[in-house]
Amino acid sequence: MRCPPLEVFTPSRREECGIFGIYGHEDASKLIYFGLYALQHRGQESAGIAVSDGNRLRDYKNMGLVSEVFREEILQSLRGYLGIGHVRYSTTGSSLLSNAQPFVVFHGREYYAIAHNGNLVNAVELRRDLESQGAIFRTTMDTEVIMHLVARNLKYGLEEALIRALQEVRGAYSLVICTRDKLIAVRDPMGFRPLCLGKLHDAYVVASETCAFDLIEAHYLRDIEPGEILIIDHNGMKSVFPFPTTDSRYCIFEFIYFARPDSRIFGQNVYLVRKRLGQLLAKEYDIDADMVMPFPDSGNYAALGYAEASNLPFEMGIIRNHYVGRTFIQPSQNMRTFAVRVKLNPVKELIRGKRIVLIEDSIIRGTTTRTRIHTLRQAGAKELHMLVSCPPHRHPCPYGIDFSTRGELIAASHSVEEIRDFIGLDSLGYLSLEGLLEATGARCRNHPYCVACFTGDYPIPCEAELQKDCFEK
């Protein structure tokens, strides 16, 4: 289904969130801490943990990185054997502690904590309806909408309340929920966002990506299935599938950009998929050049695949400064290129006089890429040919990634040739949609991926009036 233009999205690229849960371990808070640490790439704005000891649920959250938010004494105070955690990246204007997760409430003599990765496309409509019935909201998150819907149906019991609540929402959601004695994991019927199940000795763990399991030496069991509600308590595990069966629509941009390369998502290793993207770029674009070079770190693995398939040398011609902190002072307008230079610096002796194939994972606005290309020209590059390991982004995503407004997506209003000229390249090429799907092992027809950001074919209707900038992850 084709969605109307979404001109009301926040004009910035939002990264995703990371969620983690554990049941049955005496050091739950510390294991959640390490799980969130492994998922830090999915959100750097805030971090939070909620833990239960069977009687009381305690939580702590704050703005900043996981290592900044949690000190040893804080983790010691979060005593319990089950709990959940969340890392979040927000858009400009929503960087508030009140919007940090997990979202915790005390209702009907029970504690509930919920953490959410994804985005609901009917959250505004639901919130208006709830407010008209007297509901009071503390945040601007659509996560709170889910909790209100659950609370409204708790007279039927928690499991039925959750089913009834989720039957009202539309969109993408992977959830972890905990009460005093239960851990619940949920994935929406189309499975947009990844969520997996593992085991550490006698404890069960749930995480957005398997890299969180690796750090705590948990064993990967399986993915949470699309449309599955998994309940873990002292009786063991129970799965229910209350929603009508539908075609899966996994977010393909997880492979291109979001997921860590050492993770396994949607049944595949991210590193190997990204290498195949580069190999298929080489199949589609045969460029006479001296070397292949990525923009670190996003283009690294596709560049390895391209170099391998094209028999061109792979070089790290741009060095990334890994010690640039989040609070690095912002440059003034007349120094706007300084922020790029402080993060990435070219190796001039390697670049000078060379014909270079640059590999990038995506081009959203093109402004940052343009600055980087100018830096390489100044370093003496003879030719610069850029290949992008996905098709052009022409449509916003309403399911939790939230690219820029359509007007700010450069490929939405410019041809490939115009983008090439704007950035300052000798040539520019994008991987075809067929190549992208082939890299994942999917067939072009009946594939299980959401590719709406490339095609505009939205698997869930997303009416323009509902795309208000008032709900954030």
Predicted pLDDT at 125: 92
What percentage of the chain has pLDDT greater than the value 70? Answer: 88
Which of 191, 224, 258 finishes a domain?
A: 258
CATH number at residue 234: 3.60.20.10
The candidate with the shortest Cα–Cα distance to 183, out of 169, 195, 165, is 195
Which of 238, 258, 278 finishes a domain?
A: 258
Residues 113 and 246 both lie in one domain: yes
Residue 265 belongs to some domain of the structure: no
Q: Give me 373's structure tokens.
A: 């290309």
- Give the C-alpha separation, 122 to 362, whole Å: 28
Residues 100 and 197 both lie in one domain: yes
Cis (ω within 30 of 0) for the bond into 59? no
Residues 338 and 382 both lie in one domain: yes
Confirm whether residue 178 is marked as ligand binding.
no
Predicted pLDDT at 335: 53
Residues 208 and 323 both lie in one domain: no
pLDDT confidence band for 93 (50 / 70 / 90): very low
**Length of the chain, in residues:** 473
What's the mean pLDDT in 210-228?
98
Residues 207 and 61 both lie in one domain: yes
Predicted pLDDT at 7: 33
What's the mean pLDDT in 238-260?
95
DSSP at 277 = H
Quick one: three-class SS letters along 108-162? CCEEEEEEEEEEECCHHHHHHHHHHCCCCCCCCEHHHHHHHHHHHCHHHCHHHHH
Residue 342 belongs to some domain of the structure: yes
Residues 218 and 274 both lie in one domain: no
pLDDT confidence band for 234 (50 / 70 / 90): very high
Q: Is the pLDDT of residue 339 over 70?
A: no
Residues 128 and 96 both lie in one domain: yes
Residue 246 neighbours by CB under 8 Å, 6+ apart: 189, 190, 226, 227
Task: Centre a 10 Å sphere on the Cβ of residue 17 and count the other Cβ atoms it contains.
Answer: 28
Predicted pLDDT at 324: 63
Predicted pLDDT at 436: 96
Q: Is the pLDDT of residue 16 over 50?
A: yes
Q: Is the pLDDT of residue 12 over 60?
A: no
Residue 2 belongs to some domain of the structure: no
How many structural domains does the chain have? Answer: 2
Amino acid at 376: L
What's the mean pLDDT in 434-445?
88
Residues 154 and 182 both lie in one domain: yes
Residue 472 belongs to some domain of the structure: no
Confirm whether residue 470 is marked as ligand binding.
no
Predicted pLDDT at 3: 45
Task: Centre a 10 Å sphere on the Cβ of residue 457 and count the other Cβ atoms it contains.
Answer: 12
| DSSP run (H or E) holding 7 | none
Residue 84 belongs to some domain of the structure: yes
Residue 229 belongs to some domain of the structure: yes
pLDDT digits (tens, 9 = 90+) for 159-172: 999 999 999 999 99
pLDDT confidence band for 400 (50 / 70 / 90): confident
pLDDT digits (tens, 9 = 90+) for 108-128: 889 999 999 999 999 999 999
Do β-strands 236-240 and 449-450 pair in parallel, antiparallel, or remain unpaired?
unpaired
Predicted pLDDT at 2: 42
Predicted pLDDT at 446: 80
Confirm whether residue 450 is marked as ligand binding.
yes
Predicted pLDDT at 141: 86
Residue 1 belongs to some domain of the structure: no
Confirm whether residue 453 is marked as ligand binding.
yes
The candidate with the shortest Cα–Cα distance to 175, out of 152, 154, 198, 147, is 147
Residue 12 belongs to some domain of the structure: no
Residues 61 and 196 both lie in one domain: yes
Which of 258, 284, 309 finishes a domain?
A: 258
Q: Give the 3-state secondary structure of residue 75.
A: helix
Q: List, by residue number, the catalytic residues.
A: 17
Q: Is the pLDDT of residue 468 over 60?
A: no
What's the mean pLDDT in 199-209?
98
Residues 199 and 94 both lie in one domain: yes
Residues 351 and 387 both lie in one domain: yes
Residue labelled with tokens 């009036």: 465
Residues 299 and 362 both lie in one domain: yes
pLDDT confidence band for 340 (50 / 70 / 90): low
- Write out the residue range of the structural domain in which residue 238 sits: 18-258
CATH number at residue 332: 3.40.50.2020
